[in-house]
Amino acid sequence: MQALESLESGVRMYSRSLPAVFCRACGSIMLTEDGRKIIDFLCGAGTLNYGHNNRRFKASITDYLASDAVIHGLDMATPAKLEFMDTFYSVILRRRNLQYRFQFTGPTGANAIEAAIKLSRKVTGRQNIISFTNGYHGMSLGAIAASGNRYYRKASGVSLSGATFMPYDGYLGPDADAADYLQKLLSDESSGVDYPAAILLETVQGEGGINVARKEWLQSIQAIAKSAGALLIVDDIQMGCGRTGEFFSFEFANLSPDIVVLSKSLSGFGLPLSMLLIKEECDAWQPGEHTGTFRGNNLALVSATAALDLYWRDDIFAQGVHRTGEVMRHRLESIAAEYGNRFSVRGRGMAFGFDCGAPELAARTARTAFEKGLMVERCGPVDQVIKFLPALTIDSETLNDGLEIFEHSLDEALKQTRPS
Ligand SMILES: *Cc1c(COP(=O)(O)O)cnc(C)c1O
């Protein structure tokens, strides 16, 4: 642990809030070097939707490695890549009547967001990207320009340009319609808002505090994008791959985005893999116009294919996510109800936020939870929301144990907070 302080940059983050050395992990449990078992409700911020070291398809990776198959080949064709594309097409796209081309980008979510933004500018010949309050899209300059958080924006060190922020669903309170506001600004020749290349959004804002957009709002935004001649980009990096109880988080609203951005849980195993889904008419790229060394890593494509094969060939897995999500909602709402209307619970599928109202209480609760054996992180504008992203494969006993630890931790944190 001493190496962290003396050798690792001050930028380190999770090793501060989760002070332990983690040596093994399986399913929803992480083991620390000193023998503690920690229930994981963070899951790599949504990267481990199928849990750690999923035994049901881990062998796909070890077999691939053992066979001397190609690991790195830039974006050359390999059987692993062809099989992934075939599987994604038949298991995910065809079953949903969706037609997209694949673009494998560099391995991080931010890489893929950059590509999406760049492509929308190329397609439309416009520059402006409409993004939303509390949105989060990554740390590279194009992505951070479209992200709301002031702390992160400030750290970029240059003026960030090219994005205009609009209020997300609910941001203006229950009585104002944020979509009407956007519509008005885009249709008014004198509003000061340039015609956008794209409207970029998350259907549930992950880092922004688990803010859930309504179906009607999402549909309005899609219609507004269309009438403004802008592309609709859905950032499904955190909420995609099953987190909301459907493979794509926008299925419930019947959206048809021009570009979909996938990363985090796409490889299914925590390996880096990012991809854009692009409508054919928007695929304006010339060969090599957007390139990169690590695109479509073969090992990650192999595990991604295995995860799709295992969990998405029918609706059983998705139905399980809905059921487990309802258990979570019920439990979190009843915890909130014990304390009157002080706290709010938000979420969809198996992504939930418990809004503690104050960052101190959320911090104390998360810290206490970690001491008791539960890993949760915070999100929201001032980190006042406790975020629950358990593995979609979690068993009900571990889920209940984790929720119970949360309940006790909140209770203890409140007692510490109360003036004596
Ligand atoms: C994590 C995340 C990103 C950025 O992905 P990185 O791999 O960290 O670059 C972008 N958008 C959303 C919604 C995310 O959750």
pLDDT tens-digit map of 367-412? 999 999 999 999 999 999 999 999 999 999 999 999 999 999 999 9
- Say if ligand 1 is within 6 A of residue 126 CB: no
Mean pLDDT, rounded, for 242-249: 98
pLDDT of 334-368, one tens digit each? 999 999 879 999 999 999 999 999 999 999 999 99
Distance (angstroms) between ligand 1 centre and the Cα of 219 equals 23
pLDDT of 99-122, one tens digit each? 999 999 999 999 999 999 999 999
Closest Cα to atom 15 of ligand 1: 238
- Least confident stretch, 194-198, 288-292, 304-308, 413-417: 413-417
Q: Is the pLDDT of residue 89 over 80?
A: yes
Distance (angstroms) between ligand 1 centre and the Cα of 127 equals 22
Q: For residue 234, what are its two tokens? A: 């859905």
- Say if ligand 1 is within 6 A of residue 243 CB: no
- Using CA atoms, how far residue 293 sits from 107, 154, 191, 239, 315, in Å, is 9, 29, 42, 26, 36
Which atom from ligand 1 is nearest to the alpha carbon of 202?
Answer: 13
- Say if ligand 1 is within 6 A of residue 107 CB: no
Mean pLDDT, rounded, for 290-315: 97
- Say if ligand 1 is within 6 A of residue 237 CB: yes
Instruction: Give the pLDDT of residue 418.
Output: 64
**Are residues 134 and 381 in contact, defined by beta-carbon separation less than 8 angstroms?**
yes
Sorted by sequence, the CB contacts under 8 Å of residue 151 that are 6+ apart come out as none
- Say if ligand 1 is within 6 A of residue 270 CB: no
- Say if ligand 1 is within 6 A of residue 136 CB: yes
Mean pLDDT, rounded, for 197-224: 98
Instruction: Give the pLDDT of residue 419.
Output: 57
What's the mean per-residue pLDDT of the chain? 97
Q: For residue 401, what are its two tokens? A: 């144990």
Instruction: Give the pLDDT of residue 420.
Output: 47
Instruction: Give the pLDDT of residue 384.
Output: 98
Is the overall model pTM greater than 0.75, yes or no?
yes
- Least confident stretch, 5-9, 50-54, 262-266: 5-9
Q: What percentage of the chain carries pLDDT values higher than 90? A: 96
Distance (angstroms) between ligand 1 centre and the Cα of 269 equals 16
Instruction: Give the pLDDT of residue 1.
Output: 75
Could you tell me which residue, 135 or 4, shows the higher pLDDT? 135
Sorted by where each starts, the structural domains of the chain and their CATH numbers stand as 2-54+315-417 (3.90.1150.10), 69-311 (3.40.640.10)
- Say if ligand 1 is within 6 A of residue 238 CB: yes
Distance (angstroms) between ligand 1 centre and the Cα of 263 equals 8
Pocket test for ligand 1, best of 42, 111, 137, 262 (most atoms within 8 A of CB): 137
- Say if ligand 1 is within 6 A of residue 108 CB: yes
Closest Cα to atom 11 of ligand 1: 137
Mean pLDDT, rounded, for 52-59: 98
Mean pLDDT, rounded, for 189-196: 97
- Say if ligand 1 is within 6 A of residue 355 CB: no
